[in-house]
């Protein structure tokens, strides 16, 4: 806990965002940190709640009251040790996680919850600032080799854990740079890529081997994986969901990830600037109300879009916690991101029916209809269109941010892996091993599209079981079996 009664003395404070007019001029992170004194006050708000439900909200099982107490006392290095004991990359979660821990915070029953995510970020940034975060090479090598496919948060977490266990780890990444979705799927204004690079440098110094431009099953034969004693597939759920309606082939209809990836690549390679999907002076419509849709909104505003409109097929969530999702569960509640604040017309209960194109095949508008959801007990909700609610929206660009249907099929097919009904790679919930001996999987590739905190957790879990497979037992940390079974 923090200071006795601290939650009564101190109000919750978050980092302050730079003014919209300033931050949309570039792709830099735009938050101003709190003072050191205020940071410690935020740690002091952690109360002696008896049962810290924040633990149940965190897939990593972070020891939240423990590191909050150290921050309250100014023991930043001890706070870092506690945080790193469960979380390999708090600099990522401290920026990108939606913080389910905060929604489960006991203080949130009566007041604003403890700003746990922000505190995580302050702890790890203090660690880098002070030079406390250094490479820790294993004291011995087992002689066992492990291939990890994918360098996103799941792959990196598994790599670091298995390297610490003494195994010789090689990470294969199909892109030219490491980081997976963190690198090219997350805009720079949410995660500057230097944050990834400094952590990769540490992993390299610890002995992890990385191979970029290495697409297993495409330019690297799957036979090469057989040379390793074990393989962990962490390629993510990258198969984007389409919108199969008339006109979907119009020039101007794009997948959100194509838009975001090209923009981020162009930031670091001027030769690619002409390849971006430019939203400048255009009427943009983003279909999909999740984080990826929000990222498209923020990027379009930075391009100088004429207008940005957002469609969501679901009802508008309530602004306060719904009775359907009581504490400490993740709440059904309206989320307004910094990108929404920068300028966006948000619309709910809208279904897109047709993309309209001109004689050149270029997008000029789209047609929608208002809908409602009919709930019938015991049956799936039914989508009902409202008669007479059709509307045409002029637009030049549409970005489809509809989520992902699962992993791409090349690897599962070539390796003979069993898949579940959602096309994810099927693996035992007890040990993350697939139907093929020695091949494991973790992250979105196993559980479907999910949170970064789940990806890191899965990478850590898989590493424990790979280590046990190779050595007969493992000293790598493993969460409680009940938590594992609920994954």
Asked if pLDDT for residue 482 goes beyond 50, the answer is no
Split at pLDDT 50, 70, 90, the class of 483 is very low
pLDDT digits (tens, 9 = 90+) for 430-440: 999 999 999 99
pTM of the model: 0.95
What is the sign, positive or negative, of the torsion defined by CA atoms of 111, 43, 57, 406? positive
Distance CA 168, CA 146 (A): 6
pLDDT digits (tens, 9 = 90+) for 443-468: 999 999 999 999 999 999 999 999 99
Estimate to the nearest angstrom the gap between the alpha carbon of 456 and the chain centroid.
Answer: 10
Distance CA 243, CA 222 (A): 32
Q: Which domains does the chain have, with CATH numbers?
A: 6-130 (1.10.1060.10), 145-238+405-485 (3.50.50.60), 242-402 (3.50.50.60)
Q: Calculate the dihedral angle through the C-alpha atoms of 19, 23, 28, 32, rounding to the nearest 10 degrees.
A: 0
Question: Coil, helix or strand for 100?
Answer: helix
Q: What's the whole-number mean pLDDT along residues 35-40?
A: 96
pLDDT digits (tens, 9 = 90+) for 67-115: 999 999 999 999 999 999 999 999 999 999 999 999 999 999 999 999 9
3-state secondary structure 471-484: HCCCCCCCCCHHHH
pLDDT digits (tens, 9 = 90+) for 302-321: 999 999 999 999 999 999 99
Distance CA 335, CA 103 (A): 13
């Amino acid at each position: 806990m923090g200071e006795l009664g601290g939650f009564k003395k101190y109000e919750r404070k978050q980092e302050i965002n730079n003014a919209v007019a300033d931050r949309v001029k570039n792709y830099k992170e735009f938050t101003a940190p709190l003072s050191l004194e205020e940071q410690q006050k935020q740690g002091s708000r952690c109360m002696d709640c008896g049962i810290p439900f924040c633990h149940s909200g965190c897939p990593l099982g972070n020891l939240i009251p423990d590191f909050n107490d150290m921050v309250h006392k100014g023991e930043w290095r001890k706070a870092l040790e506690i945080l790193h004991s469960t979380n390999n990359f708090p600099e990522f979660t401290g920026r990108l996680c939606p913080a389910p821990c905060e929604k489960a915070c006991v203080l949130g029953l009566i007041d604003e919850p403890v700003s746990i995510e922000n505190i995580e970020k302050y702890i790890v940034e203090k660690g880098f600032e002070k030079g406390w975060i250094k490479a820790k090479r294993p004291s011995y090598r087992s002689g066992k080799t492990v291939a990890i496919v994918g360098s996103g948060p799941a792959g990196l977490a598994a790599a670091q854990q298995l390297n610490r266990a003494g195994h010789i780890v090689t990470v294969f990444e199909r892109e030219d740079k490491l980081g997976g979705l963190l690198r090219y799927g997350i805009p720079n204004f949410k995660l500057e890529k230097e944050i990834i690079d400094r952590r990769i440098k540490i992993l390299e110094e610890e002995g992890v081997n990385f191979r970029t431009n290495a697409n297993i099953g495409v330019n690297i034969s799957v036979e090469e994986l057989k040379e390793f004693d074990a393989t962990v597939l962490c390629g993510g759920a990258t198969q984007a969901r389409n919108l199969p309606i008339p006109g979907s082939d119009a020039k101007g209809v794009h997948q959100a990830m194509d838009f975001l990836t090209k923009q981020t690549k162009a930031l670091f390679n001027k030769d690619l600037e002409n390849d971006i999907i430019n939203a400048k002076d255009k009427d943009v419509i983003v279909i999909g109300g999740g984080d990826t849709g929000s990222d498209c909104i923020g990027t379009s505003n930075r391009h100088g879009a004429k207008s940005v409109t957002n469609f969501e097929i679901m009802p508008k969530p309530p602004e306060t916690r719904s009775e359907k999702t009581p504490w400490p569960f993740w709440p059904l509640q309206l989320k307004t991101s910094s990108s929404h604040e920068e300028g966006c017309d948000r619309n709910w209960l809208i279904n897109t029916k047709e993309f309209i194109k001109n004689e050149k095949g270029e997008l000029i508008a789209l047609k929608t209809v208002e809908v409602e959801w009919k709930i019938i007990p015991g049956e799936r909700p039914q989508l009902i269109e409202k008669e007479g609610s059709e509307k045409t929206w002029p637009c030049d660009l549409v970005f489809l941010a509809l989520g992902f249907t699962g992993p791409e099929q090349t690897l599962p097919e070539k390796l003979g892996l069993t898949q579940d009904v959602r096309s994810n790679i099927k693996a035992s919930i007890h040990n993350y091993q697939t139907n093929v001996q020695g091949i494991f999987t973790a992250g979105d590739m196993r559980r479907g599209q999910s949170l970064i905190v789940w990806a890191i957790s899965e990478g850590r879990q898989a590493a424990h079981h790979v280590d046990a497979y190779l050595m007969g037992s493992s000293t790598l940390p493993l969460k409680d079996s009940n938590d594992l079974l609920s994954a």
